[in-house]
A and B are shown apart, each in its own frame.
Chain A
Amino acid sequence: MTATASGQAPTALREALHEVWADKPGLVGWLTSVDHKSIGKRYVITAFAFFLLGGLEAAVIRMQLARPENHVVGPDLYDQLFTMHGTTMMFLFAVPVMTAMGLYLVPLMIGSRDVAFPRLNAYGYYVYLIGGLFLYSGFFLGSGPDAGWFAYTPLSGPEFGIGKRMDIWAQTVTFTEIAGIIAAIEIIVTIFKQRAPGMSLNRMPLFVWSMLIMAFMILFAMPWIAVDSQFLAMDRLMQTQFFNQAEGGDALLWQHLFWFFGHPEVYIIFIPALGYVSTIISTFTRREIFGYPAMVAALIVTGFLGFALWVHHMFVTSIPQIGASFFTAASAMIAIPTGVQFFCWIATIWEGRPRFQTPFLFMLGFFLVFIIGGLSGVMVASVPFDSQVHDTFFIVAHLHYVLLGGAVFPLWGAFYYWFPKFSGRMLSETLGRWNFALFFIGVNVAFFPMHLLGLNGMPRRVYTYIAETGWGDLNLLATLGAVTIAASVIVFLVNVARTLAAAPHAPDDPWETSSTLEWAVSSPPPPYNFAELPVVEGRYALWDRSAEQPVVTGLRTDQRELLITTLLDAEPDHRHRTPDPTIWPLLAALATGITFIALVYTPWAMVIGAVLIAAPLIAWGWPKPKPGDPIVTEGTS
C-alpha cells in the first residue's frame, strides 16, 4: 500500500480532513449532506426502489397476460400499469441509476474529493426524488398516467387524457429531466476539471469516458423532452394548440420531439453500462482492455449516431422513403462501433485468465443476452421488416433484450463489483451465483417467446387476447420467466440484507486486481476520499504507479478545497473552495417541487414559483467565509 491509501497518510492530516469534510451528525447531517458519496448512494438506492416498483408492475402485467381473457386487472388499471412500468423504468430507474453510479464513482476514480457543485448535486437528487414520489402518489390515488410512457398525442392531450393523469406524468418527466441535466453538468465539469494530476484525457479510465459521453448525451437529449412535456402540459392546462391538428398543431411534432430524446435515451442507458463492462473485464482478467483508442472512438461514434436514429420509431407514420432509408442505414451502422467493442473485449478475455466471480458472470450474461437484442435491433432497422413487427411483442422482446442485456446485466455486475466500496462489505458469492443464474434463465424464458408472439401477430399494449389466437402457451411461458426473474431479485435482496447484517469488513481492494483509484482508499471511502490526492502515472492508475506513489500536497486542511486541473493534461491549475453542508438545496428542491406540482392545477404557479424558488437559492449562494479567507474590499484592487 502506498501513501494514497487511507492507512498511510499521517493521522493528524486524516483527522483534520475528517473534521472539515464529514457530514454533521444525526438527522441534520443527513438532510444537509452535500457529499457526493452520500448523495450518490441515496440516488442508487432510490433508483433501485423504483426498479422494484416497476418490476412489481411488470409482474402484474405478466399475471394478466398469462392466460387469454384473464381478469387479474381491468383495462383501465392495465393501461396505468404498463405506462407506470415504462415511465418508472426509463425515467425513474435507468437514467438516474446510471448517473448515480457516476456521481458516486467518478470523483473517486479520477482522484478528487467531491463533484464540481456539491450543493447543486444534492438539489438534483431531491428534485428527482420529489418527482418520483409525485408520480407514485398520483398512481396510488387513482390518477396513474394511462397513455403509455411515450404519451402520444392526442391520446395524452386535453381531449382524450382524462383527469390529471397525464398532467402528473408531464410534470414528473420535467422533474427527472432537470435532475438528469444537473447530474450531466456535474459529471462533465468534474471530469473536465478535477482529474488528479497526470490523468490526461488519454489516461482516463474507460469508465470515466463512458460517463463523460453519457453526460453529454443527456445534456443534448433531455431539453427536447423537457420542452415537449411542457408543451403537452400547456395544451392540457392553458388550451395551447401545439398538438391540436384542428388549429394547425401537429400530432407528429410530439413524436419527433419525443424520439429525438427517446432514442438517445437508450444509449444514455447503454453507454455507462459499457464502462462497467470494460472495468469489470479488465479487473477479472487482470488485463488492460485491448485497443483503448478504438474503444474510446467507438463510444464517441455511438454517442453521435445515437442522435441520428430517432425516426426509426416512426417508420409506420408514412415517412418518405428516401428519408427512411437514411435512418435505416444509420440504425444499422451503429452495429459497427458496438461490434468493435465486442471484439476488443473478447480479445481481452482471450489474452487473460478470467476469474469467474459474480461480476464477471454478469458480463458473460451481458454478451449472450445483449447480442440477441442487438441483432434483432438491426432487423427492425429495416422498414419492410419493421412495418410488420412494429408495436408487436417482437419489439417488446427486442427492447428488453437490449435494455436488460445491455444495461441491467452490466449494472448488476457493477453492483456486485462496487458493493464493497459502497458499503464496506462483500456480497455473498454463492447467492450471487444464484442471482445470476436465475436472472439469466428468467430473462431468456420471459422474453425469448415474445419474439415468436410478435411474429405470430400479437400487438403490444393489449390488456387481453382471445383464446383463438393461440398465444396462450407462449404467454404462460413468458410469465413463468417473469416469476424466475422475481426470484432472482429476491435472492439479491436477501444477499444485500444478510451482507449488511453480518458480513466481515472488506479491505481497500477486495478483488485484489483492480486498476482504478477508488480501490486505493478504504471501503467505504472516508468523507474526503483521498487524504493526499494521487499523482497518476498511467492509464491503469493502480497498476502503473511507482512503488512510492507520488502525491499532491499543499491543499488546505481547514476548509474544503478541490484541486482544479487543466482540461487536456490535468496539470494543477488552482485550488477551489467547495461549499459546506447546508439545508438550502433541500428547501430549494421542495420549492421547485411545490411549483411544478401546483403547475398541474394553475398556470399562476409559474409566477409564485419564481419567488418561492428564488429565496432559498439566494440563501444557498450567500457567502460564509472562514477566518483566513481572502476578502476583497474597494481598496484592495
Chain B
Amino acid sequence: MLWIAAAVFVVVIGTLLYGTFRRRPSSPEFEERPTRKRGATRAIAAGAVATLLILFVYLVFDFSVGHALGASRRGAFEIELIGHRWWWEVRYLAPALPARITTANEIHIPAGAPVLVRLRSNDVIHSLWVPDLTGKRDLIPGKRTSIWLQAATPGVYRGQCAEFCGQQHAKMALLVVADSRADFDRWYAGQVASSAVPTDSVTMRGRQVFLENACALCHAVRGTPAAATIGPDLTHLASRRTIGAGLLQNTRGNLAGWVLDAQSIKPGVDMPPNHLTPGDLQALLAYLETLR
C-alpha cells in the first residue's frame, strides 16, 4: 500500500512539476487562450480511470484482509478484560479453565492459540491496542465488544489504551505475555493458588500493615480478609513484571515510591499517598514481595 501511494505521489507531483516548470514557447499565440483541449481531456480521463482502478484493487485487497481477520476461530479459552481509569482488570473465566482468577495489567496467553478477549468498561471508553498482535478495539460502557489475541511466538508484547480516557490515558499500558503451553499452565496454576502465607516476623508485620492501613480498603489479597475490588487484585503481585499499569518495573524501590506517593508518579490516580513509618514500609514491601 505504501508503495502504491509513493508511486501515485511521484507520478502526480512529477506531472505537476514538469507542467509548472516546462519551457514555454515564446510565440504570441501561446499567450492567447488555451487551444489544445483534446489532449488534456484524454489525459484527465486516463487519470480518473487510473484512480478508479487503483481504488478497486485497493478495495478488493482491503476486503480480503478484513475478511481473513474477521474469520471466526476456535478459541482456547476466554478472558474478560475490564478497563478502569487507569488500569486493566484481567479475569480468566471458568468453565473453559478450571477456576476463575483475577489479575491486573498483565495478560498471559499460550503462544500459538487464539484467545477471545471480552472487553468491558464501567467508567469511560477505553481501547485495547497491542500493536504487535492485533488492531484496536474499544471498551465501551454498556456495549459488548471482543477481540482475538494470538501470538505466534512466545514473548512479551506491550499494549496500551488507545482511546483518550482522562488524565492518565498516557500511563495506561499493559503487557501481553505469550508463554509456551507448559509455562502458561504453570503460571495459571500459580495464579489459582491462594496468596503466600507469611512465615517470618517481618512479613507477618507486613501483612498486618497491609490490613490495618488504607491498602485493604481498595485491594484484595486472596487468603486474607482483604477483598476490596476498587484497585488491582494483589494476590500474586510479585509475579507481575510491572506496577502502575505497565508504568514501572516491579522492583522494591519502585514499589516503595508507588506506595508512599503514587500521585507524584501518576497524578490523578486513585491510589492515595500513604504515610508509613520506615519500619512499617519495609515490612509491607517484604510482605508484598512474597506474593508470588
Contact = CB atoms under 8 A, between A and B. Distances in A.
Chains A and B touch (C-beta atoms under 8 A apart)? yes
Interface of A: 74-76, 79, 147-148, 152, 154-155, 159-160, 245-246, 250-252, 286-288, 290-291, 294, 316-318, 321, 324-325, 328-329, 332-333, 335-336, 339-340, 342-344, 346-354, 364, 367-368, 371-372, 375-376, 378-379, 381-388, 390-392, 457, 459-466
B163 A367 contact: no
B16 A349 contact: yes
B241 interface: no
B44 A340 contact: yes
A75 B168 contact: yes
Interface string B253-271: 0000000000000011000
Contact of B137 (A74, A154, A316, A384): A316
Given A75-B267, A324-B66, A375 B170 contact: no
Interface of B: 1, 5, 8-9, 12-13, 15-16, 19-20, 22, 24, 30-31, 33-34, 36-37, 40-41, 43-44, 47-48, 51-52, 55, 58-59, 62-63, 65-67, 69-70, 85, 123-125, 127, 129, 131, 134-138, 140-143, 145-146, 158, 160-170, 247, 267-268
A286 B33 CA distance: 8
A335 B125 contact: no
A385 B131 CA distance: 11
Nearest to B21: A354
12 contacts: A154-B124, A159-B123, A245-B143, A328-B63, A339-B48, A352-B34, A371-B9, A372-B9, A386-B135, A391-B163, A457-B158, A464-B170
A294 B135 contact: no
B39 to A, nearest CB: 9
- Please name the 4 residue pairs, one residue from A and one from B, whose CB atoms are nearest each other, closest first: A245-B142, A387-B135, A462-B170, A350-B19
B28 to A, nearest CB: 12
A336 B141 CA distance: 38
Contact of B125 (A154, A385, A457): A154
B1 A252 contact: no
B169 A390 contact: no
Contact of A382 (B16, B19, B20, B58): B58
A347 B41 CA distance: 9
Contacts of B65: 382, 384
A225 B34 CA distance: 46
Contacts of B124: 152, 154-155, 160
Contacts of B15: 346
Contacts of B70: 321
B136 A367 contact: no
A346 B19 contact: yes
Contacts of A76: 167, 267-268
Given A75-B168, A75-B267, A152-B125, A368 B41 contact: no
A74 to B, nearest CB: 6
A120 B178 CA distance: 64
A155 B127 contact: no
B42 to A, nearest CB: 10
A383 B62 contact: yes
A336 B170 CA distance: 38
Contacts of B52: 336
B123 A160 contact: yes
B137 A391 contact: no
B63 A339 contact: no
A367 B70 CA distance: 37
